[in-house]
């Protein structure tokens, strides 16, 4: 968990998407999307509203089944897998509108995210078997550690709904990390934050990226966040990839400017 991130080019990609197509009725939300994320990468996905960014995240996390194409996590195809199975493969995410379990304590929020790897079942829970006690102790310790490094331990017994908005965002990221992901999907983590919070968020994401051995893929509308953090950015519009490259290239790409500002030539 604490290992230093290393970029190893000869490794298999953490996430590989091949020719992904998603249609809703007659609408093509995602068209021929391809991406390869190498371990330790921190890259971004941007595009105007309704471009299909969150749809791609939903597809990766298994919430939708793709109409066509393949998604591979660490080389394992996710077709037909339920979201919790995808999480078990090492994908965790946050949501555009915070989705914490609001009537469970902060600590429990962190703990439940380990649900897929509890290592004990119903009857162990009833019998309070050795395995149960051992695992619960481990989970509790790990959750406490996680809260500690996120500086959330003083909220451990609070309910998330009583926390300030920025802290809720932070908690959601902590919950995602609690499931030991290889790939962390952040869906607009800066939405609704003020500029001071955003500066803190940038530090937080960079710190997570360094401290946890995790590949990060994020959607964000705040360009300064993306410019600061990402090494690679993909731009999509109407489900179509229109540009990709490092932040500088993307920023000056004519197609991107057209997509965001409209076409002057009409």
Partner 1 sequence: MLESIIQNIINALQWGSFYALIALGYTLVYGVLTLINFAHGDVFMVGAYIAFFVSTFFLSALALPGWVALALCIPLTMILTAMVGVTLERIAYRPLRKKGAHRLYVVITALMCGLILEHANLAILGASRKAFPPLIEVHVYNIGGVTFTNLKVAVIITAILVFLFLHWVVTKTRVGMAMRAISYDKFAVPLMGIPLDQIIVVTFVLGSGFAGLAGLLFAMSYPVLDPYMGALIGWKAFIAAVVGGIGDIRGAFLGGFLLGAVEIMVVAFFPSTFRDLIAFSVLLMILTWKPTGLFGIAKTTKI
Partner 2 sequence: MLRRYSVHLALALTGGTIIYCAYQEYLSLYIMSILMFMGVNIILSTSLNLVNGYMGEFSCGHAGFMCVGAYVSSMLGVWLFAKDKVFGAAVLDPEYALYAFPLIILTGGVAAALAGVLVAVPSYKTRGDYLAIITIAANFIIISTIENIGAIGGSRGFMGMKRLVNSMEDVVELPWMPIWVFVFTIFSIWVIRRYVSSTFGKGVSAISQDEVAAEIMSVNTNKMKTITFMLSSGLAGIAGGLFAYILGYVNPGSFNIMKSTEVLVMVYLGGMGSLSGSVLSAILFTLLLESFRFIIPVINDFAHQFHLISPDYDISQVWRWVLIPLLLIILMQFRPEGIMGNRELGDIFPRLKRFYRFK
Q: Which positions touch partner 2 (CB under 8 A)?
A: 61-63, 82-84, 87-88, 92-93, 95, 99-104, 108, 111-118, 120-122, 124-126, 128, 132, 136, 139, 175-176, 179
Based on CB atoms, which residue is closest to partner 1, 55 or 114? 55
Measured from the CB of residue 10, what is the shortest distance to partner 1 in angstroms?
36
Based on CB atoms, which residue is closest to partner 1, 54 or 114? 54
State the alpha helices, DSSP H only, in 70-164: 83-89, 106-112, 122-127, 130-149
Which does residue 159 bind out of partner 2, partner 1, none, counting CB within 5 to 8 angstroms by kind?
none
Measured from the CB of residue 161, what is the shortest distance to partner 2 in angstroms?
10
Which does residue 131 bind out of partner 1, partner 2, none, counting CB within 5 to 8 angstroms by kind?
none
Which does residue 97 bind out of partner 1, partner 2, none, counting CB within 5 to 8 angstroms by kind?
partner 1
Measured from the CB of residue 37, what is the shortest distance to partner 2 in angstroms?
19
Cβ-based neighbours of 145, under 8 Å, separated by 6 or more:
none
Helix, strand, coil % in the chain, rounded to nearest 5: 40, 20, 35
Cβ-based neighbours of 46, under 8 Å, separated by 6 or more:
53, 219, 220, 221, 223, 226, 233, 234, 235, 236, 250
Measured from the CB of residue 178, what is the shortest distance to partner 2 in angstroms?
9
Exposed, middle or buried by CB within 10 Å (0-12, 13-18, 19+), for 226?
A: buried
Instruction: Kindly state whether residue 63 participates in binding partner 1, applying the rule CB under 8 A.
Output: yes
Measured from the CB of residue 168, what is the shortest distance to partner 2 in angstroms?
13
Instruction: Kindly state whether residue 43 participates in binding partner 1, applying the rule CB under 8 A.
Output: no
Measured from the CB of residue 85, what is the shortest distance to partner 2 in angstroms?
8
Measured from the CB of residue 261, what is the shortest distance to partner 1 in angstroms?
27
Number of Cβ atoms within 10 Å of the Cβ of 119: 13
With contact defined as beta carbons under 8 Å apart, do 51 and 240 qualify?
A: no
Q: Which of 54, 78, 109, 215 binds partner 1 (CB under 8 A)?
A: 54
- Interface mask toward partner 1 for 68-107; x: CB under 8 A: ---------------------------xxx-x--------
Rounded distance between C-alpha atoms, residue 201 and residue 64, angstroms: 29
Angle at 42 between CA 156 and CA 83, to 5 degrees: 60
- What tokens were used for 181? 């992901």
Based on CB atoms, which residue is closest to partner 2, 56 or 92? 92
Rounded distance between C-alpha atoms, residue 223 and residue 47, angstroms: 11
- Alpha-carbon dihedral angle through residues 130, 131, 135, 136, given to the nearest 10 degrees: -50
Based on CB atoms, which residue is closest to partner 1, 95 or 238? 95
Which positions lie near partner 1, rule CB under 8 A? 54, 58, 63, 95-97, 99
């Amino acid at each position: 968990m604490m290992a230093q991130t290393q970029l190893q080019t000869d490794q298999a990609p953490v996430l590989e998407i091949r020719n992904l197509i998603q249609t809703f009725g007659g609408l093509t939300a995602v068209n021929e999307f391809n991406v390869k994320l190498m371990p330790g990468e921190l890259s971004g996905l941007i595009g105007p509203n309704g471009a299909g960014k969150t749809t791609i995240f939903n597809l990766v996390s298994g919430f939708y089944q793709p109409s066509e194409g393949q998604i591979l996590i660490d080389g394992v195809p996710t077709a037909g897998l339920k979201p919790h199975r995808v999480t078990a493969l090492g994908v965790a995410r946050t949501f555009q509108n915070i989705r914490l379990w609001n009537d469970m304590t902060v600590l429990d929020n962190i703990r439940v995210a380990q649900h897929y790897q509890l290592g004990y079942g119903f009857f162990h829970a009833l019998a309070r078997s050795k395995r149960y006690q051992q695992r619960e102790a481990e989970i509790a310790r790990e959750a406490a550690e996680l809260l500690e490094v996120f500086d959330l331990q003083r909220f451990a017994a609070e309910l998330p709904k009583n926390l300030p908005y920025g802290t809720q965002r932070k908690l959601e990221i902590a919950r995602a990390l609690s499931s030991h992901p290889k790939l962390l999907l952040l869906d607009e983590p800066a939405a609704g934050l003020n500029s001071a919070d955003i500066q803190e968020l940038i530090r937080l994401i960079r710190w997570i990226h360094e401290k946890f051995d995790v590949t990060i893929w994020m959607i964000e509308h705040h360009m300064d966040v993306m410019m600061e953090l990402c090494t690679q950015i993909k731009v999509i519009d109407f489900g179509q990839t229109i540009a990709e490259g490092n932040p500088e290239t993307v920023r000056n790409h004519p197609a991107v400017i057209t997509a965001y500002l409209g076409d002057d030539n009409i």
